[in-house]
Amino acid sequence: MARASLTIEKRDASGKSPTARRLRTTGRVPGVIYQPDGENTSFSADNLELAAVLRKGNTLIDVHLDGKEQLTVVKEYQVHPVRGNLVHLDLQAVRMDQMVRSTASLTLVGTPVGLKAGGILTQGLREVSIESTAANIPDTIEYDVTELDAGDVVILKDITFPEGVTALDDEGSMVVAITVPRGAKKRTDEQIASDEAAGIAAPEGEEA
């Protein structure tokens, strides 16, 4: 998975103090690193640097503080409901061999054959909760939809996860489906082949 670097500074532990509000006005975001021994570390980070790290998605973060480095993952972050800027970040200190829970995006690869038949692709889950060691956290989970035909439905149970990665969501959750528009007539493979040979596009909303 991706790995990023973030330089932080220690701060007052009172997250609701005027100090925290002043930090935000100077372009810094308050946060906390949760340590295994309970001795949590309150810090602040540059807003722009932090935003760049979070844009990388599922990422291990090497945090640099007072000349020391510590491996962390994002536990939670808060965004202002109106302005959309980051207002707080929680990090979890981890070891590479430690089991952690995180979220991975679900990426569909390919073009389903069912689309040529007039089907419509609907993606259900776009991300999935997982558990793995910190070293095995995937950037994304890919699923090849090329062979999906009209009427096919894929649930989470059908997805193959990398070794050492376990899905935590309901295994019956819908991942992707190729649906047929109501009233559309199914076109045969012969009709599709004939139209393609003649350079005729499939009618919109019609299924093969």
Place of tokens 């989470």: 156
Report, as an integer, the average pLDDT of 164-168. Answer: 96
Q: Which residues make Cβ contacts (< 8 Å) with residue 20, sequence separation at least 6? A: 11, 12, 14, 30
Lowest mean pLDDT among 3-12, 21-30, 133-142, 179-188: 179-188
* Pairwise CA distance, residues 162 & 170, whole Å: 18
In a domain, 6, yes or no: yes
Instruction: Give the model confidence (pLDDT) of 45-74 as tens digits.
Output: 999 999 999 888 777 999 999 999 999 999
Q: Which of 73, 94, 115 is the last residue of a domain?
A: 94
Report, as an integer, the average pLDDT of 19-42. Answer: 86
Torsion of Cα atoms, 119 then 124 then 126 then 132, to 10°: -120
Lowest mean pLDDT among 6-10, 32-36, 199-203: 199-203
pLDDT tier for residue 18 given thresholds of 50, 70 and 90: low
Task: Give the residue among 119, 177, 99 at the shortest CA–CA distance from 143.
Answer: 177
Q: Which residues make Cβ contacts (< 8 Å) with residue 59, sequence separation at least 6? A: 1, 2, 3, 4, 53, 73, 74
**CATH code, 138:** 2.170.120.20
Together in a domain, 138 and 161:
yes
Residue-level pLDDT at 195: 56
Task: Give the residue among 2, 68, 76 at the shortest CA–CA distance from 34.
Answer: 76
Answer whether 110's CB lies under 8 Å from 149's CB.
no
Instruction: Give the model confidence (pLDDT) of 77-99 as tens digits.
Output: 898 898 888 899 999 999 999 99
In whole numbers, what is the pLDDT of the chain averaged over residues? Answer: 86
Model pTM score:
0.70
In a domain, 172, yes or no: yes
In a domain, 11, yes or no: yes
Looking at the chain, the whole-number percentage of residues with pLDDT higher than 70 is 83
Full residue range of the structural domain in which residue 81 is found? 2-94
Dmax over CA atoms of the chain, in Å, equals 72
Report, as an integer, the average pLDDT of 21-40. Answer: 87
Answer whether 79's CB lies under 8 Å from 49's CB.
no
Q: Which of 94, 112, 132 is the last residue of a domain?
A: 94
